[in-house]
Structure 1
Amino acid sequence: MAFLRERKKSPYWYACFNVHEPSGRWKQVSKCTKIRKEPIAGLSEREEGRLLAAGMEEEKIKELREVGMSAAEARKLAQKVADAWESAMKKCWTVTHIRRVMSDLTFDVAGDDLVVPSVRGWFEEYISGLSRRGKAMATVRNYRNARERFFAFLGERADWPMDRITPKMMNDFMMDLAGMYAVRTVKKEFQIVCGIFNAAVRLGLLDRCPGQGVELPRDKKTDSGRIARRGFTLEELRRVLERCDEEWRSMVLCSLYLGGQRLGDVAMLRWDAVDWEKGVVKLVTQKTGREMVVPMVPALAGVLRERQTVCGEDAVFVHPSRAGMYERSGSGRLSAEFSGMLFDAGLIDRDPRLAGKRYRKLTPARDGKRRVKNELSFHSLRYTVATMLHDAGVVPAMVQEIVGHSSAAVHAGYIKFGAEATEKALEKLPEL
């Protein structure tokens, strides 16, 4: 049974108890309770604040302020702490379990409130502060999507304290994701959830992230069934533009003449980014945060002039309809809408506007529930610009700067030289 002892030159009670080691021997453990043998009469302002934060009524605090704690009450409380510690050690509980047992004694033992928040409460609080930390809108949306998938997996367990989420649960969550999404998506979603747990670890709310040690799936780089992305030919671009409404046509052309900018950046392009006087368009890419100043070539200026006539002087966005759609639901709906036009043009064989069984009939070889990518999409405009500029003889470093790729290795994956350019290159070889 646990007992208390005193130490010279220390004002606190020490809890002592025996624990059984794996070797078979017994070991005596001594821990300071931080409870004074002779409590100081009254309460300090700091102690009163801690008691209020812990939920104690003001009348009780007033009594303690006047009377304080007696030596007998302090010894009784110290014995309670010692018994709790001994029970936890004998049951081989983790630090998290001990933290839960000691939650009623937090003020007396540690002076802080160590109550662990619920999963739902902590995730909501953390994500609500992302925008104040300067995170981009797209990043906040990714965190929200990961949260919703995690909550859907947990069900009622989302209201449990965070320290009740086990590594086994996290592994099951990862396997659940792996059955529905590609490897890259599984890694992104799982790492976002782990990142929110790690934030709680850094603040001392948890002793470790429950996702630590979970093995993530590996991407099969040699997958022969993987569809390679490519750029549009001029004829394909004309077929797409024929099926675009006025706003989509402007978005496609703006993407091309701005150097192959991504769907979200084109959809959210603002009129205040267009500098008519200097003849440039200034934008910050959402994915990389890269600041770009793109010269306004005559073709781009003509497209923007037409849009200005349609939008009017009070418009904020160059493409207001699609900007609103992007703000509400991200790039998913916009991408599906554009891919639907590609399907109507006969450029892809899967219509993303179909859902459920109708979509599965088009893809009999699908791997489980995972979404199959088409070889053409709005992102293919980046491949198109990179390839056309290289075919035109533009210096590779300049092409990389125009498209906005962070490295030559990334840029190399976007280059698909045409047959004519390849033939001209081969003609430069000497005859032997």
Structure 2
Amino acid sequence: MPDGQRTFRSTKLTDRKKAWEVCLQWEKSAEQGRGGSFTEAQARKVLNTILESTGQAPMHNETIQDYFSNWQNAKELAKKPRTAERYGIVVERFLASLGPRAKNPLAALTVRDLESFRNDSMAQGKAPKTVAVEIKVLRTVLNVARRQGTMLTNPAEAVELPKVVSHTRDVFSPAQVQLLLATADDEWKTAILLGYYLGARLTDVTNLTWENVDLAGGVITYEQRKTGKGVTSPIHPDLEALLAELAGDNPRAYLCPTLQRRRVGGRSGLSQMFTRIMRDAGIDQQQVKGKGKQGRTFSKLSFHSLCATRSRARSQTREYRRKSGRNSPAMQTRRCIKNTRISNCCRSSRRLPRCRVCWQIDARTKKNSLLATNR
């Protein structure tokens, strides 16, 4: 031992020659320890020498910067570009906050490093929710290291998250939907009805093609861009009437070709276009300013509120079925699961108030001109 005390330790090896080599390395390390010159780097070197002499792979001595950069590169291949970009911004900010310490071994990362990053973000005026998301991203990165055995514990799990106050999305009333239809032009009316009756996100709506539409079967099937989850939704009678008039002979054509060519974000993006439609219709977005100097403004009413409107109708249908006893095991065993899901979606879709719309179709261009009228 470093203090000169005699002790016995097993090398856990059955080969006498390999066991003797390990003992020699232990003795050399003990002498360096007694001399006060045994550093962490030397300890890792000794352990790697022992591992290599016994035919095992050496310890992985990756720096914090190298590990986070490699993780980021892997995410760029596995995740969607926007998701990988958000992760990359967090990783770059965290490495910058470490400064020269980013060159330290990954195992040297401490809870204090992560808490300092959290405190700096809060001091910059970032919203608590944004800071919480950043810490969760770092937890994800370090959890991979822990599962791989590179770290014994995840220091990010010991970092307390800031308190977050969440705002709920509001829904459009039937009268507001009518105002939107009366104000919007051509393809936006189609997009609004698709969002209203399908509960689909704006990106999913604008990327729908006629290949996704099965008028004979009465369903629209698509894959959500955000989650990658497949969705099969019934077609509401109002929506069916519109699609029947617009249907063409090109299955790859977009339902909203002009909108599909635009990005969702940006000053001239789809979100801002819908905001202008709301403003022209006299509908308040009900904006709430986020906390902190850099807190984002949250709009309780946006295109996503059309999704919330559909979700509320679906939850009302489930509540009705629960109270009426239609969800009993005896009833469910007599149904086909797939047909039950479609049937439940049909019920929730029909709970949405109908939008009375007069369609005027240009037979040459197949563009719809909708004249919305009040109920």
Shorter-chain TM-score range: 0.5 to 0.7
- Residue 286 of structure 1 deviates from its aligned partner by 5.6
1:314 and 1:112, CA in 2 relative to 1: closer, same or farther beyond 3 A? same
Q: Deviations over 1:206-225 (max 9, x none)?
A: 222231311112334xxxxx
3-state SS of the aligned residue for 2:298? coil
AA of the residue aligned to 2:89: E
1:175 is the counterpart of 2:114? no
2:71 is matched with 123
Whether 1:315 and 2:252 are equivalent positions in the alignment is yes
For the Cα contact (< 8 Å) 1:348–1:375, is it kept in 2?
A: no
Instruction: Name the TM-score, length of structure 2 as normaliser.
Output: 0.64
Contact 1:119 1:158 in 2 (8 A): no
- Larger RCO (CA within 8 A; separation ≥ 6): 2
**What is the aligned partner in structure 2 of residue 151 from structure 1?**
92
Offset of 1:80 from its aligned partner? Answer: 3.9
| CA RMSD between the two structures | 4.9
Q: Return closer, same or farther for 1:279/1:350 CA change in 2, 3 Å cut-off.
A: closer
**Matched residue SS, 1:170:** helix
Tell me the SS of whatever aligns to 1:216: coil
Q: Distance in 2 between matches of 1:144 and 1:88?
A: 46
1:329 deviation in Å?
7.1
1:234 correspondence with 2:177: no
> Separation in 2 of the partners of 1:104 and 1:306?
76
* Amino acid of the structure 2 residue aligned with 1:338: F
Q: Quick check: 1:257 aligned with 2:209?
A: no
**What's 2:2 paired with?**
18
Q: What is the one-letter code of the residue matched to 2:309?
A: T
SS at match of 2:157: coil
1:337, distance to aligned residue in structure 2 (A): 4.6
- 2:297 paired residue among 338, 356, 372: 372
Give the gaps of 5 or more residues in structure 2: 323-340, 352-375
Q: Is the 8 A contact 2:210 2:250 kept in 1?
A: no
AA of the residue aligned to 1:368: K
Preserved contact between residue 95 and residue 207 of structure 1 (Cα < 8 Å)? no
State the distance in 2 between where 1:284 and 1:169 align: 40
Give, in angstroms, the shift of residue 371 of structure 1: 0.8
Change (3 A) 1:96 1:29: farther
SS of residue in 2 equivalent to 1:232: coil
Aligned pair partner of 1:402 in 297, 321, 345: 345
The 3-state SS of whatever aligns with 2:159 is coil
Give CA deviations for 1:375-424 in whole Å, capped at 9, x if unaligned.
211121134345678999x946699953999xxxxxxxxx9xxxxxxxxx
Residue correspondences, number = 322
Distance change (3 Å), C-alpha of 1:100 and 1:269? farther
The aligned runs of 1:6-405 (5 Å cut-off) are 17-18=1-2, 28=7, 30=9, 32=11, 38=17, 75=21, 79-80=24-25, 82-84=27-29, 98-99=43-44, 102-103=47-48, 106-108=51-53, 111-117=56-62, 118-128=66-76, 130=78, 137=80, 141-155=82-96, 161-178=105-122, 181-220=126-165, 228-242=168-182, 244-258=184-198, 260-285=199-224, 291-305=230-244, 309=248, 313=250, 315=252, 317-319=254-256, 334-348=270-284, 367-385=292-310, 395=320, 401-402=344-345
Residues 48 and 58, structure 2, Cα contact 8 Å, conserved in 1: yes
Supply the distance in 1 between the matched residues of 2:13 and 2:24 (Cα, whole angstroms).
12
Change (3 A) 1:37 1:320: farther
The alignment partner of 2:113 has SS state of: helix
Shift of 1:275: 1.7
Report the TM-score when normalising by structure 1. 0.57
Distance 1:191 1:106 in 2: 35
> Judging changes above 3 Å, is the alpha-carbon distance between structure 1 residues 145 and 105 closer, same or farther for their aligned structure 2 residues?
farther
| SS of the residue 1:32 aligns to | coil
1:273 shift after superposition: 2.5
Long gaps (5+) in structure 1: 1-16, 21-25, 40-70, 132-136, 221-225, 352-361, 406-414, 416-432
In structure 2, the CA distance between the partners of 1:388 and 1:216, relative to structure 1 (3 Å rule), is closer
Query: Aligned to 1:38, what secondary structure does the other structure show?
Result: helix
| SS of 2:299 mapped into structure 1 | coil
Contact 2:221 2:233 in 1 (8 A): yes
User: Contact between 1:88 and 1:98, CA under 8 Å: does it hold in 2?
Assistant: no
Report Cα offsets for 1:121-144 as digits up to 9, x if no partner.
43135414535xxxxx4xx74354
CA distance in 1, matches of 2:94, 2:296: 19
Name the CA shift for 1:144/1:341 in 2 (closer, same or farther; >3 Å): same
Residue type at the aligned position of 1:402: C
Partners of 1:245 and 1:375 lie apart in 2 by: 23
CA distance in 2 between counterparts of 1:89 and 1:313 reads: 82
1:284–1:292 Cα contact (<8 Å) kept: yes
Give aligned-pair identity as a percent. 22
